[in-house]
């Protein structure tokens, strides 16, 4: 592979983001929230952003301002950990990168994870969401067991808190600025 092909596209800066029209803004940031470009569309009006945290807060505010039903539908857009999307290779690039560590699960671990995922989804009506990159395997399994037992309204908020961690990390990787 030539050096030119191996180079990554340069990251956008916050100044670049603040100058984008809505269509380009959504094209650049619409994938930060899993299959939900409407989040970027809603946040665009909050420009100019003074830093990545301001941008992220605006995006999370869009999600949190929706009805409970919309938030649950939003959560349903997220892939199950090591689930059918991972097996089929149909996850987004972000999710594929973030779940890469789950590729090395033993057969027993994978079976346990699938069983726990099914119990969680049956109780809450949406997939278990956790910031995989911020947790060890043991922490993920323990959180899945603990969070399955929770009340669904509490768990809805916990899932959104995890999405906040995931999407903040994604923005940090996309923009030419350190994660703050």
Q: Say which DSSP state 12 is in.
A: B
161: left (phi over 0), alpha (psi -120 to 50) or beta: alpha
Instruction: Name the catalytic one among 35, 54, 78, 124.
Output: 78
- Residues with Cβ within 8 Å of 14's Cβ and at least 6 positions away in sequence, in order, are 49, 51, 52, 55, 175, 177
Asked if 78 is an active-site residue, the reply is yes
Integer Cα distance of 63 and 74 in angstroms:
8
Give catalytic residue positions: 78
């Amino acid at each position: 592979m030539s050096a030119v092909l191996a180079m990554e596209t340069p990251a956008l800066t916050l100044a670049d983001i603040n100058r984008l029209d809505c269509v380009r803004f959504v094209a650049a940031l619409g994938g930060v929230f899993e299959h939900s470009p409407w989040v970027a569309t809603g946040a665009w009006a909050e420009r100019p952003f003074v830093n990545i945290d301001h941008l992220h807060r605006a995006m999370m505010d869009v999600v949190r301002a929706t009805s409970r039903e919309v938030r649950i539908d939003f959560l349903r857009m997220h892939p199950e950990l090591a689930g059918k999307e991972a097996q089929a290779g149909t996850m987004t690039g972000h999710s594929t990168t973030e779940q890469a560590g789950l590729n090395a699960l033993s057969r027993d671990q994978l079976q346990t994870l699938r069983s726990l995922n099914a119990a969680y989804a049956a109780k809450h009506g949406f997939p278990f969401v956790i910031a995989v990159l911020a947790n060890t395997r043991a922490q993920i399994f323990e959180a899945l067991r603990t969070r399955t037992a929770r009340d669904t309204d509490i768990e809805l908020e916990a899932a959104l808190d995890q999405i906040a961690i995931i999407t903040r990390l994604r923005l940090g990787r996309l923009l030419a600025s350190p994660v703050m």
